[in-house]
Amino acid sequence: MANLIIIVDPDPERRTNFINKVKPLLPPFTGLVTNSCTTGNFASIWAANSQAPISHCTNNNGAAVVWGHAITHNSTEQINAESLQQKWQPGKINNAFPTFDGFYAAVVYNPEHGLIVGADLLGFFPLYYDTDENVILIGSSPELFRYYPNFNPQFNPQGLVGLLLLRVLVNGETLWSNAKRLGAGNILQWQPETGAKELEHYRLPCSREHTPYSHLSFAEHLDILDEAIDQAIARHTSTSKKHNFLLSGGLDSRMLAGFLHRQGINPVAFTLGKQGDIELECATAVARHLNWEHQVVSTPMSQYPFYANFVVNWEHLAGGLGGTTGMVSDAHFYLKNSPATIINGFAMNSILGDCLRCYPISFQSIFSELNSKGLSQEVLSKLLNQDIFGDLLSDTLRILKKNYEEYSDLEWQKVLYCRLYNNDRFVMGTSLWESSFGAWPILIVLDKKLLETAVLLPTSTMNKRRAQKELVCTRFPQLAQLPLDRNSWNTEPLKPSSIRQQLSILFKAQQKWRRLQVEFGYDRRYYYRIADINNVGWQAVRREVEPLRSKVEHLFNMDVFNELLPPPDVKLKFKSDSILEASGIKVLLGLLLWSKNHL
């Protein structure tokens, strides 16, 4: 992804001064290329990988820029700036503003009719905006807005409540009152006379009337899903180009690896971790079986403070503080000499039934799942200073419930969309943004036909990823016999071979041994190891923020705050899941770091 800024300002001196000010600040990393597109009152500037797919144009009609792959539905045609200018016409009455597949952001400016800006189907590409009279600012990060003289970087307590509750932004509210995140599936239309308004651009199927597959058999459902995934991969990738592939040891990677190989696509596989990790062990088996080039990358924990500052300053904690590990933030380094694109399976698990494992299917069940990554209502009611936050906690809960009820007529679709819009688009979206500085993401899930196929198949087919598992077992049986990472010690294949079954006692003993190793400080589970808030990397971050507690003491009951986040020499203890239970605490940690330059 590019780190981009767009401004429309009729004051030429102010506009030029702003662009000149932010230009050297725009690249988050060294080695990026800065480019621009300007005409009249409009200016856009961005920093991106030299291979990033970016198209821009200026002419008598104004200007247009496309960052990424905007792909026509049911086609391989990629939209460039000139084509977009014809399809998105700000002044045209009843313009339908067509949507596109792929991971992208795009803007069209017309000097008479204003500006339109939008992004991919699910809003994974982050776009923020602020308007002031006849001026609009748009960016992939709100960070540089503060260098515009009329922007007021006022702290937004409502944005913080959403972050503490779910570790994501709720309803577009950020940590700054005047900076809003563009809603999922929306486009932003702006005119100097009327200001900015978000318009619904794309909406997933949301009615009981949309049940085209209910009369078909499970086998027929598999064929339909097989075709949808296969065609999505064919549209988004190319056998004539070399791609990277983020190969984990899990089910989504396993399935996509099978489809890629079946189509004759042999990417350079990248796995995050180090020797001894269960994740790498499972991924290596796949790469060897498919005879793929396989590279292993790992971010030293000494880099955690650097990436914590990156996440805090550029993302303003929009997806929590997970990127601190450098898991994908480091992509600008390890992908810099690799092919120009990287295929991944982010959010595939959600649309293929993983969210349907929570029972009963209801707002409370999905809220409990999402809230497990934040701080509970009970804790927040004690932590937050009521003089500042007032009823914002209950207001945020009402907003979440209202949005949930409006997602669909069908309860299971409400649960799915709630997870997509309140977890995946932020956590996965920020990861995509980070990795794009190394290679542009190809996110297979951002395909209209695939999305609408998956969400319209019956729950009996999709529940607990039933169809996905069966696809791997029936279409790629040899891959189904390889060990599978579940972020646990259990690596039982989907379809164990007869030899594996005969050796089951040995593998169970191996699981027990690996579990015992944790007691000696050696955890083979990749995500538990890198996300451990007690590891040396996170301790370094905690030491850095320790002097900053006074910056936030007006916001919180500091007795509660200090109990949640003790000094760095105190080891935190958890009841069961150290990743989930530390996630909300890491938002507090990130807020301390953010307060250094923003409060």
Residue with tokens 């690799």: 338
d(CA 471, CA 463): 14
Domain membership of residue 578 (yes or no) is: no
Sign of the dihedral defined by the CA atoms of residues 490, 496, 499, 505, in that order: positive
User: Which whole-number Å values give the CA distances from 178 to 166, 175, 556, in the listed order?
Assistant: 21, 9, 22
How does strand 3-8 pair with strand 42-48? antiparallel
Q: In what order do the strands lie in the sheet containing 33-39?
A: 33-39, 42-48, 3-8, 135-139, 128-132, 180-181
Which residues, including other chains, have CB under 8 Å from residue 75's CB and lie 6 or more apart? 235
CA distances from 582 to 242, 273, 372 (A): 39, 21, 10
pLDDT at 146: 97
In a domain, 13, yes or no: yes
Q: How far is CA 196 from CA 3, 120, 138, 275, 568, in A?
A: 22, 19, 11, 51, 45
Strand duo 114-119 + 186-191: pairing: antiparallel
Cα angle 589, 592, 598 (rounded to 5 degrees) comes to: 140
Q: Which residues contact 50 (CB under 8 A, 6 or more apart)?
A: 32, 33
Mean per-residue pLDDT pooled into runs of 10, the chain (599 residues): 94 98 95 96 96 97 98 95 95 80 98 96 98 95 97 97 97 97 96 91 82 92 98 96 96 98 97 93 98 93 92 94 70 82 95 79 91 96 97 97 94 93 92 91 97 94 95 98 93 92 85 81 87 94 97 98 96 90 95 97
Cis amide linkage into residue 360, ω under 30° from 0: yes
Rg (C-alpha) for the chain, rounded Å, is: 24
Question: Rounded to 5 degrees, what are φ and ψ at 556?
Answer: -130, 160
| Residue 142 near residue 156 (C-beta atoms within 8 A) | no
- What's the 3-state SS for 476-530? CHHHHCCCCCCCCCCCCCCCCCHHHHHCHHHHHHHHHHHHHHHHHCCCCCHHHHH
329 φ, ψ (degrees, to nearest 5):
-60, -30
CA dist 404 and 414 (Å) reads 6
CB-based contact 208:410 (threshold 8 Å): yes
Residues pairing with 78 in the sheet: 71
Count of C-beta atoms within a 10 Å radius of residue 258 = 21
Q: What is the pLDDT of residue 595?
A: 98
Query: Residue 508 falls within a domain, yes or no?
Result: no
Closest CA to 544 of 375, 329, 304: 304
Specify the 3-state DSSP secondary structure of 131: strand
Query: Does a structural domain hold residue 48?
Result: yes
CA 438/CA 431 separation, integer angstroms: 12
Which residue type sits at 305? P
Split into its structural domains, the chain has a count of 1
3-state secondary structure of 485: coil
- Give the range of the structural domain holding residue 16, as residue numbers without chain letter: 3-142+179-200
- H helix count then E strand count, the chain: 25, 18
Q: What is the pLDDT of residue 512?
A: 83
Q: Which amino acid is at 242?
A: K
- Non-local (6+) Cβ contacts of 285 within 8 A are 482, 483
- Which residue in the block uniquely carries the two structure tokens 């702006």? 190
Q: Is residue 465 part of a domain?
A: no
CATH number at residue 103: 3.60.20.10
Q: Does a structural domain hold residue 550?
A: no
Q: What was the pLDDT predicted at 127?
A: 98
Q: Which residues contact residue 391 at a Cβ distance below 8 angstroms, ignoring those fewer than 6 apart?
A: none
Q: Does any domain span residue 275?
A: no
Residue 520 lies in a domain: no
In angstroms, the Cα distances linking 173 to 151, 180, 317 are: 16, 6, 12
